[in-house]
Amino acid sequence: MLADDAALFREGVANLLREAGFDVVGQAENADDLLALVGEHQPDVVIVDIRMPPSHTLEGLEAAKIIRARYPAVGVLVLSQFVEPHYALQLIDNAEKGAGYLLKDRVGNIEELADAVRQIATGRLIIDPAVVSQLLNRSRRRDPLDALTDREKAVLALMAQGRSNHAIANGLFVTEKTVEAHIRAIFIKLNLSPTADDHRRVLAVITYLWEE
């Protein structure tokens, strides 16, 4: 079953799938129609565009989630124009049945599309290589806090609690000069150069909270 508001694209994909040996049991141009058709036919696999009417935001993705919840035996393949790893992760999170996320560019390769549909029908998870690459690159990025010593992390944690240098010194049983030295080291290791427009202490705390 196919869902895409662009009729020419939808029909083109349907024809390609038929030529590859698939039975296309229904087509929809919006998420509501798709959900109704899935309830009626319960196909092996649904292919849905991530952005659909009326707002063209995430109707397709939300419909995919509903289908997975209501009809666990139905596999879902979401198509997107963009590399959006966070949406891919939402789709496959706790997937009990086949699910996939592919870029629309892949549709031009019928062998690749057909293989993805078949694998999803057998319960496998399929993620576009471009999305996988971005996820891997993200995981390889160095945590900026790794450069800090344990004592510097302790100072930064107290800064994040809004403590003054005097309070931090008392809490760690060190002098204020020692705290100031730690803070300077933190700024250097987090690449926070002094500027007229930025408050380095605030930026350091934001980095800490973001990474934590």
Domain boundaries, the chain: 2-139, 144-211
Q: pLDDT tens digit string along 170-206? A: 999 999 999 999 999 999 888 887 765 557 888 888 7
Confidence band, pLDDT 50/70/90 cuts, at residue 5:
very high
Q: What is the pLDDT of residues 84-134, one digit of tens each?
A: 777 777 776 655 578 888 998 888 889 999 999 999 999 888 888 887 777
On the 0-12 / 13-18 / 19+ scale of CB atoms within 10 A, 110 is: middle
Q: Which residues are registered as beta bridge partners of 125?
A: 99
Long-range contact pairs involving 6-12 (C-beta distance under 8 Å, separation at least 24): 6/49
Reply yes or no on whether the pLDDT at 50 is more than 80: yes
* C-alpha–C-alpha distance, residues 167 and 136, integer Å: 41
What integer pLDDT is reported at residue 78 of this predicted model? 92
Give residues with Cβ within 8 angstroms of 78, minimum separation 6.
48, 49, 50, 60, 61, 64, 87, 88, 91, 99, 100, 101, 102
CB 135 within 8 Å of CB 114: no
What pLDDT score was predicted for residue 211? 62
Whole-number pLDDT of residue 206:
79
Residue in the block written with tokens 């049945």: 97
Q: Among all chains, which residue has been given the structure tokens 């909270």? A: 209
**For position 196, what pLDDT does the model report?**
59
d(CA 30, CA 74): 18
| pLDDT given at position 83 | 78
CATH architecture for residues 2-139: 3-Layer(aba) Sandwich (3.40)
Pick the CATH number of 144-211 from 1.10.10.10, 3.40.50.300, 3.50.50.60, 3.10.310.40: 1.10.10.10
Distance CA(131)–CA(62), nearest Å, equals 19
Question: Which amino acid is it at 68?
Answer: R
Residue with token string 């009417």: 53
Q: Is the pLDDT of residue 139 over 50?
A: no
Residue 94 in tokens: 């706790």
